[in-house]
A and B are shown apart, each in its own frame.
Chain A
Amino acid sequence: MKPHFLFPTWMRWLGLCLFFVHLPVMHIWDMYHIHSAPSDTGMFSSGHLFFILTIVLMVSGLFLIAFARERIEDEQIYQLRLSSLRWAIFANYAILVICLVFTTNKADYKDMLRLNLWVPLVLFIIIFRYKIFRLNRSLKPEQ
C-alpha cells in the first residue's frame, strides 16, 4: 500500500499527555480568572496568550491522537480511518448547521468557533476507535 502521511505511533501518547495537560491549565484559567484588562486587547496580551496556549495544547493533542499511525497500519485500517473521517465530518456539519439555525446571539458565535475546533477531531477519534473495537470483536477464531 502506498504510505500516507501519519504521525509515528508513539505520538499518540504525546497527544494524550498534551490533552491532559490542557485540562488543569483550563481549570486554572477558570479558577483564577486570568483575563486581561479590557484595554489590553493586543495580540500579546496575557489573556490572549493564555487562551492560545490552552487551545494549541488541546488541538495539537487531539490532532496527534487522531492521526498517529496504528501499530500495523494496513489498507483495512486506512479504509476505517477514511470512513470514520467521513462520519465525523457529516456529524460535525450537522451540529454546525443546527447551532447556526438556533443561534441568535452574536456572542455565541465565538463559542461555536471553539466547539468547531475540537468536535470534528473528538468525533473522529470516537468513531475510529469504535470501528476498531467492533472489528476486533467480529473476528472469528482461527481455523
Chain B
Amino acid sequence: MKNTLRVERAIKNITQGELAELIGVSRQTINTIESNKYVPSTVLALKIARVFEKPVEQIFLLEDGD
C-alpha cells in the first residue's frame, strides 16, 4: 500500500510533528507511514483522512501486489 501523505502534508503546509499531534500519535509513526514501512490501522487512516478533509482512498492507495 502506498500513500500520498507527504504531498498532502506539503499542500496543507504542516510538519510530521504537527500532523502527529493532531491525530495523537508519535512523529515516528507518521515518518514510517510516509516511507511505507508501517501500514496504519483503519482508525488511524480515517483520522489522517479527516485532517486532510479527503476520502481515505485518495490518501492511501492499494498497489498491484496487495
Say yes or no: B28 contacts A75, CB within 8 Å.
Answer: no
Would A74 and B16 be within 8 Å (CB), given that A1-B41, A139-B31, A140-B35 are in contact? no
Say yes or no: A76 contacts B26, CB within 8 Å.
Answer: yes
**Beta-carbon contacts under 8 Å, A105-143 to B:** 135-136, 138-140, 142-143
When the two chains form the complex, which single residue of A72, A135, A140, A143 contacts B25, counting CB atoms closer than 8 Å?
A72
A77 within 8 Å of B by Cβ?
yes
When the two chains form the complex, which single residue of B15, B25, B28 contacts A139, counting CB atoms closer than 8 Å?
B28
Chain B nearest CB, measured from A88 CB (Å): 22
Chain A nearest CB, measured from B30 CB (Å): 9
Interface size on B, residues (CB 8 A): 19
CA distance A76 to B41 in the complex (A): 9
Say yes or no: A77 contacts B26, CB within 8 Å.
Answer: yes
- Which residues of chain B come closer than 8 Å to A139, judged between CB atoms? 28, 31-32
Would A140 and B31 be within 8 Å (CB), given that A72-B25, A76-B26 are in contact? yes
Say yes or no: B16 contacts A76, CB within 8 Å.
Answer: no
Q: Which residues in B have some Cβ–Cβ distance to A below 8 Å?
A: 6, 15-16, 20, 24-26, 28-29, 31-32, 34-35, 37-38, 40-41, 43-44
Q: Which residues in A have some Cβ–Cβ distance to B below 8 Å?
A: 1, 72, 74-77, 135-136, 138-140, 142-143
Counting from the closest, the 7 A-B pairs by CB-CB distance are A74-B25, A72-B26, A76-B29, A139-B31, A140-B35, A142-B16, A74-B29
